A = this chain, B = another copy of it.
Amino acid sequence: MRSLLLLACLLLATSAAHAARVDTLSIPSAAMQKTYRAAVVLPASYAKNKKANYPVLYLLHGAWGHFNNWLSKTPDKQLLHRLADQYNLIIVNPEGETFSFYLDSPVKADSQFETYLTKEVIPAIDQAYRTVRDRKGRLITGLSMGGFGAMYLSARHPDLYGAAGSMSGALELSSANRKATPDEIAWRNKNLTPIIGSEEQNPAFFSANSVVNMADQIHKNGLPIIFDCGVDDGLIEINREMHRRLVYNHTPHDYTERPGAHTWEYWQTALPYQVLFFGQVLKANGVAVP
């Protein structure tokens, strides 16, 4: 009988692995007068474990991307499903548009993603699902521009998040510190300037809003932080600089360098470490679903 039960369990477990449900939610933005979709991955246990409130991981996409990237671009299409099941986490993939950098644009009225993500998406998710309605159970990370977004939003809204991460983060908004090539400058002028404005005209904005300049704010917030970068990634020096500044000002944080470049293979490798970190935070906060 025991082995029969076991067999049944294994079957169930197998099915469970694919039972994680993905909703596509429409979340309107009053600030932008638009409605964007979000992909919500619910762990298999969510449907059964009706009494539990689930922690939520906000997982941000990168530049040129959209809300469903993390589900459609990882080589392993079941990655998020498996992590949601393994850690009993709701994983929310909100929209950040191609180049919003998840901030409230000073020049584009309908690019207000800081407001959207903090004042509109969170309440919508907390209303639609059985979530831990507290920073203790709310986590945020992302890749590239999404790594910037996760560090930026958590640095400015420490009351909303229990921990934050970044993978291959584009943590520097300014390009004043780069030796930008003519191509890069042309690219910025064409793609970024219309959305976040011109650094030449508003350098203070670019400096004040670069995560790499927020080390003291991050220190003050005291949130658990994890970020990483591939050593073959063009953004490695920015991430090393972020790490050094947080070491310099004695800010507790996890920092990892590993092989790899700015690719989905890298992010598929990196995400499980970040979720393991978040899982430890949730346990410490007493809000993990067993």
Contacts and interface: CB of A to CB of B under 8 A. Distances in A.
Nearest to A257: B255
Contact of A12 (B6, B245, B252, B253): B6
Interface stretch (A58-66, A149-157, A236-244): A236-244
B6 A48 contact: yes
Q: How extensive is the interface on chain A, given as a class?
A: 35 or more
Interface stretch (A88-96, A97-105, A272-280): A272-280
A231 interface: yes
Contact of A273 (B178, B249, B259, B273): B273
Contacts of A9: 5, 8-9, 12-13
A269 interface: yes
This chain's copy number in the assembly = 4
A216 interface: yes
A256 interface: yes
A207 interface: yes
Interface in A1-56: 2-3, 5-6, 8-9, 12-13, 48
Where chain A touches its partner, the secondary structure class is helix
A269 B280 contact: yes
A248 to B, nearest CB: 5
Contact of A179 (B241, B250, B272): B250
Contacts of A231: 247
Contacts of A250: 177-179
A89 to B, nearest CB: 16
B257 A247 contact: yes
A153 to B, nearest CB: 22
Contacts of A252: 258-259
A176 interface: yes
Nearest to A178: B250
Contacts of A249: 176-177
Nearest to A280: B269
Most buried by B among A248, A250, A253, A276: A248
A134 interface: no
22 contacts: A5-B8, A5-B9, A8-B8, A176-B219, A176-B249, A177-B216, A177-B219, A177-B249, A177-B250, A241-B248, A243-B257, A252-B258, A253-B258, A254-B256, A254-B257, A255-B256, A255-B257, A255-B258, A256-B256, A269-B280, A272-B280, A276-B276
